[in-house]
Amino acid sequence: MTELDLEGQKDPFRRERNDAAAAGANALLVLRRMTEGRRDSECTVGLRITDCPPSFGAWFRVAVESYVCTPDGLHALSILPPSADRNIGRVDVPR
**Domain, as residue range, for 10:** 3-92
- Give me the residues paired with residue 2 across strands: 59
Which has the higher per-residue pLDDT, 80 or 27?
27
Neighbours of 46 (CB within 10 A): 5
Of 75, 86, 81, residue with least CA distance to 30: 86
pLDDT in tens, 22-73: 999 999 988 999 999 998 888 888 899 999 878 899 999 999 999 999 999 8
Range with lowest mean pLDDT among 7-11, 23-27, 59-63, 76-80: 76-80
Laid out side by side, the sheet with 59-67 consists of: 59-67, 27-36, 88-92
pLDDT computed for residue 36 by the predictor: 94
| CA–centroid distance for 61 within its chain | 11
Mean pLDDT of 11-15: 91
Counted domains in the chain: 1
State the amino acid at position 35 in one-letter form.
T
d(CA 2, CA 57): 6
**pTM of the complete model beyond 0.85:** no
Mean pLDDT of 67-85: 81
d(CA 93, CA 20): 7
